[in-house]
Amino acid sequence: MSKVLNMLGLATRARKVTNGEELTLEAIKKNQVQLVFLASDAGDSTKKRIENKCKSKNIPLVTEFTKIELSMATGALNRVVIGVMDSGFRKRMLELL
């Protein structure tokens, strides 16, 4: 699983991700997000909003990592929701899962 987090870190440095619930939801509405990471320890309301939006737009949702793991991968604090906007990164991450 650490390879997926390494890829997430690369995508972050390449500026191919959205960070945070509101920015990710906005990008999903604009059809810019290819894959969403949702922390397994996220709040119930956040989980529900993100899960519903991903389901309605047929976007793969990854919930295997905690806030701490996502934060360490991206180099930012308290990352609960991260949207991957690049199809190449999405494809490789899904292969690694």
User: What is 2-96's CATH topology?
Assistant: 60s Ribosomal Protein L30; Chain: A; (3.30.1330)
- The per-residue pLDDT for range 80-97, each reduced to its tens digit, is 999 999 999 999 999 998
d(C-alpha 39, C-alpha 95), whole Å: 20
Give the pTM.
Answer: 0.93
| pLDDT score, position 1 | 58
In this predicted structure, the answer to whether residue 4 has a pLDDT above a threshold of 70 is: yes
Domain ranges of the chain: 2-96
- The per-residue pLDDT for range 65-80, each reduced to its tens digit, is 999 999 999 998 889 9
Q: What 3 state SS string does 60-78 have?
A: CEECCCCHHHHHHHHCCCC
> Cβ distance 44 to 73 under 8 Å?
no
